[in-house]
Structure 1
Amino acid sequence: MALSIAAETPLQDDIRSMVERLNAYLQPLSPPQFQFQLTVEQMAGADATVFVARDETGTAVAMGSLKVHDGETGEVKRMFCEVHVRGRGLGRAILGAIEARARNLGLARLVLETGATPGFEPAWALYEGAGFTACPAVLDYPDSEYSRFYEKSLSS
């Protein structure tokens, strides 16, 4: 399967649909007050870059975004891969694009919040395999039993 990854606007019908599938997957995994989902409109903000993987037919099959918080910290948000292409390295490729963008912007570290309940094991494996380490709560997220936090230094 030939794939391409590029920064794109999330304000496209196929990306909106992908975000809906991501939200549908996440909603039963933790209480609503512990879900911190960016909307497509928020993902389209000047402080965010959305990366989309497309297959040879042009179908969007994976996505992830970088949200810049300040001159030092970027956050990985909205990582998702369609079920039929999981296990092919797309998550790692999207993370690589996010990390490259963060480095190009001169950011010193990446952080992220993900779920801490059953159903998030693939996310933990992805982030840990990409060199992220568990850390205390980041940014303004509440520390709870429903969240797991990671960080990665981008300093050389």
Structure 2
Amino acid sequence: MTDWHIRVDDLTGEPTRALIALHLSGMHATSPPESTHALDVEALQHPDITFWSAWDDDRIAGIIALKRLDDERGELKSMRVADPFLGRGVGRMLLRHVIDEARAAGFTSLWLETGTPDDFLPAQRLYESEGFVRCAPFAPYVDDPFSAFFTRAL
């Protein structure tokens, strides 16, 4: 069994930056620009965002971020598993890690926006399997056929 390591990431390492670039490229390939809500490295360095990366020894396996919306709510951002690690539970591990971190930070709910094209169905199923339910758009989002919105009480 792999000994995964999840750490807060300062976004300066090349493996992290490369996975963010791959994530952004994939988002832009499947959604029009006005419907692409993925954040670049600079935006992910905002003080209201905590960013984690998962590692298998020296290989990056996945990334995820948590944005503070207010004192009670957080938003999941930039969740991506590196291609060699797809189907190995990295996404679920990262999601559960952030749920635990959000609880520890005193949040009472988590929110997220994800895409609606078929490429996003595995992510949607993962969120639903971890207790997220579909909801209406939340600020700053608007109703968009390329977006699906989810929330989960903590």
Common fold by TM > 0.5: yes
Does residue 3 in structure 1 map to residue 4 in structure 2? yes
**What whole-Å deviation, never above 9, does each CA across 1:120-149 have from its counterpart, x for those lacking one?**
111101111111000110121011111000
Query: How far apart, CA to CA, are the structure 2 residues paired with 1:27 and 1:114?
Result: 13
1:1-156 alignment runs, 5 A limit: 1-56=2-57, 58-154=58-154
Aligned residues: 153
Q: CA RMSD in A?
A: 1.0
CA distance in 1, matches of 2:15, 2:83: 15
Q: Deviations over 1:13-66 (max 9, x none)?
A: 21111011111222121111100121212212221111111012x121101010
Give the distance between the partners of 2:48 and 2:123, measured in 1 at CA. Answer: 24
Residue 12 of structure 1: CA displacement? 2.1
What is the TM-score of this pair, normalised by structure 1?
Answer: 0.94
Note the residue ranges of structure 2 that are not aligned, 5 or more in a row. Answer: none
CA distance in 2, matches of 1:73, 1:115: 21
One-letter amino acid of the counterpart of residue 135, structure 1 = C
Partner Cα distance (1:115, 1:125) in 2: 12
Aligned-residue offset at 1:67: 0.5
TM-score (norm 2): 0.95
| Deviation of the 1:111 alpha carbon | 0.1
